[in-house]
Chain A
Amino acid sequence: MNNILSFKNVNYFYQTKNDEIFALNDVNFDIEKESFTSLVGPSGCGKTTILSLTAGLLKPSSGEILLDGEKKIDTKKIGYMFQRDHLFEWRTVWKNITLGLEIQRPKDKEEKLKKSEELLKKYDLYAFKDKKPRNLSGGMRQRVALIRTLALEPQLLLLDEPFSALDYQTRLSVCDDVYSIIKSEKKTALLVTHDISEAISMSDKIIVLSARPATVKDQIMPNLEEETPLKRRENRRFSALFDCLWRELTNENQKNQ
């Protein structure tokens, strides 16, 4: 089977003091191995809930989630990258990167340490190995966070708006970096984003969610042939895709109000 992740008729309710909130309504989608998928939808629709379910931090109220063909979610197969880098200020860059290895203590720890060191060298962070995170720029910090996630060699990367805390200029270049790192390491990625152009420029597939309770409304394959997200933004079809997504999301937002 070529799907690393499948959501099958997934429903999710979450409980608050005053209410039971219907967050996901019969969500179905598949993600192919080594593909890049984006989740877009009106804010508060349950995008992060989908990531949390995938990571096993939440359990679906009904329906099935298959990770690598298995019902039981093996969290070791997943790497979660958050909106904020969450680097630990008291640890050096190297110690931050090896945090996951310290926690999971895998049998092939030595190998993975070596691999992390290579990643650091490859992505120009080796010189900062023994520096504290406060000495790094926002873009560098986000790259360190990505390498920390990659150090555990997950098969599926969950990216929860990892660029939204960066300024626009940095955002575009980090976007390019992260994309090329993920592609060259042959990882599968699932990205949650608010940014339509980001979704179009990075994704093989864009899943459009409806307003809450979220359901899959549309799936779009941009099929842009350029190599990097930045170049894809110059594709002739880019603005047409942007308009199309923009309209779908605006419709959903209006329904929300």
Chain B
Amino acid sequence: MKTKKINSKTFSKTHYQYIKKLKRDKFLIIFFRIFVLVAFLGLWELLTYLGVLDAFFVSSPSRIVKQIIALAQDGTLLHHSWVTLYETLIGFLIATVLGYLIAVLLWWNEKVRKVFEPYIVVLNSLPKIALGPVIILWVGSGTKAIVLMCILICIVITTMSMLSAFLSVEEGKVLLLKSMNANKFQILFKLVLPHSMPEFISVLKINVGMSWVGSIMGEYLTSKAGLGYLIVYGGQIFKIDLVMASTAILCVLAFGMYYLVSLLEKKYRK
């Protein structure tokens, strides 16, 4: 197929129509995306306003907004958000770096890998939340326990995904480097790590989600502050507005983190 140089003045009519269709499709998709959100919120608000749904149990968009404003005014919004964000980021970073390094180690030494393989499989299928009480006993309640929970949830999947990406390098490419007299370090840095970059980015994306799960789980177990704490607290005193407001903030923060990773991906793809 010939690739024409793009020059707006030399578009043929059919090509112009094609571009126009692409643009229209894109517009429609964005329009309906926004429409779904607005319709959902609008219906929610309307049904609670009309009394079809009880706002005491399901809250409503306007009540959530009021609640967020109230939280913002007395300064607790920033405080609780920051606590959770901090725990999540620390957990995310430690789990990603450590999980990656363990994967490199397991790639490096086949015997070590084979010894630890069954343990990793078991650890992966174990619901990490089961370790909650033990974590609190060992490191005490509070931030440390929450970060540890976050790490436990992310690290195994990081190691497993990265290791399988490392091992998926074509044998022929390794042979090529060996025929150039490369040592194992060079095979690692010139081939294995760059080859597994796409997998690394998808691990980052997974970990963004998982680390939020970890920190909120941790806060359910033991906390004095944070969005998870607010959610539990709100549930206990039947303040659904507080639960929903915290969840909404959580959505925004998690999306922001995901967005940063996708920026990184775009930069890498260039």
Main secondary structure of the interface of B (DSSP, over half): helix
From the candidates B172, B182, B191, name the one contacting A82 in the complex (CB within 8 A).
B172
Which stretch in A83-91, A176-184, A189-197, A205-213 binds the other chain?
A83-91
Least distance between A43 CB and chain B CB atoms (Å)? 18
- Bound Cα distance A190, B182 (Å): 22
Q: Which of A63-98 contact B (CB under 8 A)?
A: 75-76, 78-80, 82-84, 86, 88, 90-91
Q: Which residues of B contact A152 (CB under 8 A)?
A: 180
**Known contacts A76-B181, A100-B180; A86 and B170 CB within 8 A of each other:** yes
User: How many contacts between A and B, using CB within 8 angstroms?
Assistant: 44
Size category, B interface: 10 to 19
Q: Which of B149-199 contact A (CB under 8 A)?
A: 170, 172-173, 175-182, 186, 190-191, 194-195, 197
Q: Check A103–B176 contact: CB distance below 8 A.
A: no
- Bound Cα distance A55, B176 (Å): 11
Q: Check B194–A84 contact: CB distance below 8 A.
A: no
From the candidates A55, A76, A103, name the one contacting B190 in the complex (CB within 8 A).
A103
Q: Check A80–B190 contact: CB distance below 8 A.
A: no
From the candidates A75, A83, A91, name the one contacting B179 in the complex (CB within 8 A).
A75
Least distance between A140 CB and chain B CB atoms (Å)? 16
Q: Check B179–A57 contact: CB distance below 8 A.
A: yes
From the candidates A57, A79, A104, name the one contacting B178 in the complex (CB within 8 A).
A57
**Known contacts A57-B175, A82-B172, A103-B186; A88 and B180 CB within 8 A of each other:** no
Known pairs A79-B179, A86-B176, A99-B190 / 8 extra A-B pairs, C-beta < 8 Å: A75-B179, A75-B180, A80-B175, A80-B179, A82-B175, A88-B191, A102-B190, A103-B190
B positions within 8 Å CB-CB of A: 170, 172-173, 175-182, 186, 190-191, 194-195, 197
The 4 closest A-B pairs by CB, nearest first: A80-B179, A100-B180, A103-B182, A75-B181
